[in-house]
Amino acid sequence: DSEQQNPCISVPAEDKAQCEQMNVWLDQKLVEWKPKEYKPMEFGAYHVQASDGIFVKSNAETDDKMLDVLLETNANIIVLYVRTGSYFSQKERYDQLINKIRISGKKLFIGARFDDIKMNFDDYDKALNDYTKNIIAELKPDYYGIVLEPTTMETKYGFDATDEQWAELSERIAKLSKQLSPATKTVNDGHKGELNFLQLSSDLASIDIIAFNIYDSNGIYPKYSGYLGKGDLVGN
């Protein structure tokens, strides 16, 4: 009970001041962001060992152990960032893991990922189109992360694209996804340096969910002034 009242009680001494400061900030946000009415919220847990480039360095035993850990959290959704090459090279392993996720009663979030090779925007467009036809059409996840941090993808793969290009691509892919897997919810996400892309995404009819990747408190309080601009940019 004491730890629930003060989550910083067991934090190491050198980190306690920072923990207390963040806890006060969070308490303020619970008041500021209090909704008019409460609705059920789903929590997702990221299976990092079976995602992206780590998957090929891991194994099926680790998949199961990590899934057991995530299931203990009572999360509603298990998140996998699946690369096309990894899926088809170890399809049986992935299918077994995904089957266990579904048997457990959890929902499945698949985020699009590709191998670490340089490509231009047209290449990325084609890769995402193929991904939707080959991965999403087969797995039919509950959620499909289509464009996840566009500028991060640009840096990773070595090209530049406008927010408008990313928005057009994600809308087209979302429509394709809905044809191939009608029950799958489509998702775009971005960090606080990508607010314009997220704003554009909010106007796309085929995108069901907009997600914010918030890594720190910059740009989410009224008195903020910094590289993002001024004020509560995320709130606005």
**How many CB atoms are located within 10 Å of the residue 63 CB?**
19
For residue 94, list its beta bridge partners.
none
pLDDT tens track for 204-215: 999 999 999 999
d(CA 195, CA 61): 39
Quick one: tokens of 219?
A: 């740009």
pLDDT tens track for 90-104: 999 999 999 999 999
* Distance from chain centroid for Cα 158: 21
Closest CA to 124 of 99, 80, 88, 158: 158
pTM of the model: 0.85
Residue 110 near residue 141 (C-beta atoms within 8 A)? yes
Quick one: tokens of 51?
A: 């995602």
For residue 190, list its beta bridge partners.
212
pLDDT tens track for 50-108: 999 999 999 999 999 999 999 999 999 999 999 999 999 999 999 999 999 999 999 99
